[in-house]
Chains A and B, each alone.
Chain A
Amino acid sequence: MTNIFYISGDKQVTYSDLIDDINKSRLYYESCVIEDEYQLYLNLILSILLNTKITLLDADSPFAENAQVNTCSDSEPRSINVNVGSEEKLGERLLAADKWSMKLYTSGTAGIPKEVSHNLKQILKGIKISPDHDNDVWAQTYNPTHIAGIQVFFQALFNMNTIINMHKSSNIDIDHQMDLHAVTHISGTPTFYRMLNRKIFPKVKRVTSGGERFDPLIRDKISMMFPNATVSNIYASTEAGTILVSHSDIFEIPENLNTQIKIVEGELVISRELIGANEAITSGDWYFTGDLVEFIDGNMNSFRIKSRNSDMINVGGMKVNPHEVEDLLYKLEGVQDVRVYSKPNSLIGRILCSDILLSNSQLQEADIYKYLQARLPKYKIPRMINMVSQINMTRTGKKQR
């Protein structure tokens, strides 16, 4: 059977086609905005085969201003002539790239975007290469220039699997492609899963969720939609890649990492040994993630990610965790999705707002306010409640706060 590397709509590229394209490539671009996903993957693969550096930029990145798009009329493309004989040789050459490094920029949701560099060893620690994964078919729902998308890409590539492009696909397209290509593995943010139609996909074997809090409601929806799948909740970041994996919203620090991951004053802190190279983002030997945790039942090794430091909203001196408000709103029948955020206010600093996406419901603003009033103190209730047709996201598919 022909081994397919990549599918996007009607476009299909086999591994044989990929090797032809690799062998025909005469120019390599170290830093370039490439909007065509296949071309982006091809350039990334070339960087590994050339055992050289690459910078991944996407068109939304503030660092993409000076980069050329698609045509890559970069001032210094490199002439190349790569010869890969077969799929087997491709795999061997990829694993041998000991000088390869990839530069990324963090999403900036926690502040100003930062530059992070990863080598192959760091990327490989987050993926599994084995014959058990020979026939996996991956749905790529992430932006492929971001760490989550990169990890899906590498997981698929190093096992010679198929990647189906579903980034920015509509729900109807996703439903169709999941069935058409018999997808076995899918990875996405909780917001991605929350937005999906409630269709059942019995062929999916593995579901991973990451990038946002994994609440019980989303876990229930994933279990319903993917009844035969193992579900994993991933804690990862651009700086560190995948750090922790759980089957629920509760994480434990594995024994082999207990000298490299710790909790300091309620914040998750990671050893710089686990972080992609960047002097600026670590404080001495440690990287403070900005993620706040709460321990489970007094067990100092089991915890849940409570919020990001930067997610907390200061309303007139009172701190509000937007996730707490969102969790309550998800329980209200008729609410499909919700975003709680803040806007500057000259009187109280920040005013709490919410965008509500309803699912065929007649709920009014007053109903929502009354519901929250019965459950929250006044300062935690959004003063501005907007009914919307879609929820605003960041470049990485997370809710804009």
Chain B
Amino acid sequence: MIRKLLVLVNGIREKDGKKPLEAISIHSRLREDIELDSLDLAELTVLIERDHGIDIFEDGMISTIGDIIAMLDD
């Protein structure tokens, strides 16, 4: 799951000309560490919903990769 999320966030980062991250962890913060802004996060929600059928931001803010995984595991 973390590997899949890494592919997704790197795809989004690449659009902004940012270098791909080599690794992320459950503690990685979406804004501060992965450097995603609101537009990037909005895209991430669409991609995750497309793959998993879940809107990760539906019930409030998601801050870390761990929060996303927890949401998808529920």
Contacts of B37 in A (CB 8 A): 378
Tell me the nearest residue of chain B to A317, going by C-beta: B38
What chain A residues lie within 8 Å of B33 (beta carbons)?
Answer: none
User: Would B38 and A348 count as touching, CB distance under 8 A?
Assistant: yes
- Closest residue of B by beta carbon distance from A316: B38
Contact across chains for A379 and B58 when beta carbons are under 8 A apart: no
> DSSP class of B's interface residues: helix, strand, loop or mixed?
helix
Q: Contact partner of A348 among B15, B16, B39, CB < 8 A?
A: B39
Partner of A379, one of B39, B46, B57: B39
Total A-B pairs, Cβ < 8 A: 36
Answer whether residue B35 sits at the interface, using C-beta atoms and an 8 A cutoff: no
Within 8 A of A (CB), among B5-56: 15-16, 37-39, 41-43, 45-46, 55
CA–CA, A259 and B42, complex, Å: 47
1/0 per residue, CB under 8 A from B, across A362-377: the answer is: 0000100100010000
Complex contact B38–A351 (CB within 8 A): no
Q: Is A274 an interface residue (CB 8 A)?
A: no
The answer to whether A347 and B15 touch across the interface, beta carbons within 8 angstroms, is no
Beta-carbon contact of B45 and A346 below 8 Å: yes
The answer to whether the Cβ of A383 comes within 8 Å of any Cβ in the partner chain is: yes
**Interface residue A86 (Cβ < 8 Å from any Cβ of B):** no
Q: Is residue A45 within 8 Å, beta carbon to beta carbon, of the partner chain?
A: no
List the A side residues contacting B39 at CB < 8 Å: 315-316, 348, 378-379, 383
Cβ of A384 < 8 Å from any Cβ of B? yes
The listed residue (A316, A347, A378, A379) touching B45 by CB distance below 8 A is A347
- Shortest Cβ distance from B3 into chain A, in angstroms? 22
> A373: which B residues are within 8 A, CB to CB?
15
Q: What CA separation (Å) do A347 and B57 show in the bound complex?
A: 6
Nearest opposing residue in chain A for B40, CB measure: A383
Within 8 Å of chain B (Cβ to Cβ): is A345? yes
Interface hits, A314-331 → B, CB 8 Å: 315-316
A residues engaging B (CB < 8 A)? Answer: 315-316, 343, 345-348, 351, 366, 369, 373, 378-379, 383-384
Extra contacts, 6 of them, besides A351-B46, A378-B16, A383-B39 (Cβ < 8 A), are A316-B39, A343-B46, A345-B46, A347-B42, A351-B42, A366-B15
List 20 A-B pairs, Cβ < 8 Å.
A315-B39, A343-B46, A345-B42, A345-B45, A345-B46, A346-B45, A347-B45, A347-B57, A348-B38, A348-B39, A351-B46, A366-B15, A369-B15, A378-B39, A383-B39, A383-B42, A383-B43, A383-B46, A384-B43, A384-B46
Chain B residues proximal to chain A, CB less than 8 Å: 15-16, 37-39, 41-43, 45-46, 55, 57-58
